[in-house]
Amino acid sequence: MFGNLPDFFPFMKPLKGKRIIDFTHWLPGPYATMLLQELGAEVIKIEPPQGDPMRVMPPLLEDGTSARFILLNQGKKSVCLNLKDAKQQQVCLRLMASADAVIDGFRPGVVQRLGVDYEAVKTLKPDIVYASLTGYGQDGPYRDHVGHDLNYAGVAGILSMTGLKQPTIPGVQIADLAGAMCTAFGVLAALWEAEKTGQGRYLDVSMTDSAFHMMALHLAEFSATGEAPNPNAMSLTGAYPCYNLYETQDGKWLTITCIESKFWVALCERLEHPEFIPHQFDEGEQREQMFKTFRETFLSKPRLHWLETLDPTVVPIAPANDVATAINDPQMKQRGLFQNAKLTSPIADKNDKTSGKAPQLGEHNEAFIS
Model confidence pLDDT, tens digit, residues 346-367: 876 666 666 678 888 877 888 8
pLDDT of 297 higher than 90? yes
pLDDT at 354: 60
* Residue 301 pLDDT level (bands cut at 50, 70, 90): very high
Strand partners of residue 246:
254
Q: Higher confidence at residue 257 or residue 342?
A: 257
pLDDT at 64: 85
Residue 167 confidence (pLDDT) above 90: no
Predicted local confidence at residue 236, as pLDDT: 79
Residue 10 has pLDDT above 80, yes or no: no
Find the angle CA(336)-CA(102)-CA(176) to the nearest 5 degrees.
55
Rounded average pLDDT over 116-136: 96
For residue 104, pLDDT over 50 is answered with yes
pLDDT at residue 8, rounded to an integer = 43
What pLDDT is recorded for position 363?
A: 77
What percent of the chain shows pLDDT beyond 90?
70
- What domains can you pick out in the chain, each with its CATH number? 11-214+344-369 (3.40.50.10540), 243-324 (3.30.1540.10)
Q: How confident is the model at residue 122 (pLDDT cuts 50, 70, 90)?
A: very high
